[in-house]
Structure 1
Amino acid sequence: MVHNCILIHVQSNFDIIIELQHQVSEMDIIHLKNIRIKTKIGVWAWEKLVSQNISLDLEFAVDTSVSSRSDKLSDTKDYSQVVCEIESFIQNSSLQLVESLAVQLSEKLMEEFSLQWIKLKINKIGIIPNVTEIGITIERGSI
């Protein structure tokens, strides 16, 4: 829910100035951190043969005004369903790039769960010597 704050100024010469001061957004962010999945992803021949560990961090905006009052799961996003969708999408994909995976997965999640904003970080873990993880963070939509 977005509220517009309007200020009305009356100047000494009786001109009225209406100013849109700012917008206040009532949106909450749910986060799922360090989701770990084994999958085959990559451009090199060995990456197509060997499952690799990837980790995901997901944030998405939700309006919790109803669920925070009702305290019912049916009034919010079910985190376990989100994780199941992520796992299913990744296991059934044949993408080579984490960039492609991030974009297509975020599009799927936004559509499937009617999300207005999403931030997704995907890392491939331990595939380059002396580098703990490599990956991408994308953000789509608006709050």
Structure 2
Amino acid sequence: MDKVIIKQLKVDTVIGVYDWEKEINQSLYLDIEMQWNIAQAAQNDDYQHALCYETVSNRLIELITEKPVELIETVAEMVANCLMSEFNVPWVMVTVNKPGAVKSCQNVAVEIVRQKQD
């Protein structure tokens, strides 16, 4: 399985369940693995057959910052749904990291794997 991978995509957004969190931007960091057949793009050195990580990154930043969300679980599902519906990615693993969410640990995260049903 070929993959296109984006690591530590930083998204500053309003996220959280507490009232004080709804007043500030916080940083989320996304790790994304997307199944994508890169053979045709590589064989012909042809961008039109590639999954453009810049386009994907920009779309995900736009999606996540459109409106406040309470849960990183919701962000993970939004990202997976977007990648499968808008970019036709058949399989995706999304990890959403929220560093500093719990004082006694460096980071908290959720990770999901989704795939299109045939």
Same fold, TM-score > 0.5, yes or no = yes
Cα RMSD of the aligned pairs, angstroms, is 1.1
Runs in 1 of length 4+ with deviation above 2 angstroms?
Answer: none
TM-score, reference length from structure 2: 0.93
- Alpha carbons 2:13, 2:68 under 8 Å: kept: no
1:43 and 2:17 matched: yes
Give the AA of the match of 1:135: A
- Alpha carbons 1:28, 1:63 under 8 Å: kept: yes
Unaligned runs of 5+ in 2: none
1:75 equivalent in structure 2: 49
2:104 alignment partner, one of 126, 130, 133: 130
Once the 2 structures are TM-superposed, how far is the Cα of residue 127 of structure 1 from its aligned partner? Answer: 2.3
The count of residues paired between Structure 1 and Structure 2 equals 116
Task: Decide which structure has the larger Cα Rg and report it.
Answer: 1
TM-score, reference length from structure 1: 0.78
Question: What percent identity do the matched residue pairs reach?
Answer: 27
More strand by share: 1
Unaligned runs of 5+ in 1: 1-26
Q: Map residues 25-64 of structure 1 onto 2, 5 A cutoff.
A: 27-64=1-38
Comparing both chains, which one has the higher relative contact order based on Cα–Cα distances under 8 Å and sequence gaps of 6 or more?
A: 2
Give the AA of the match of 1:85: R
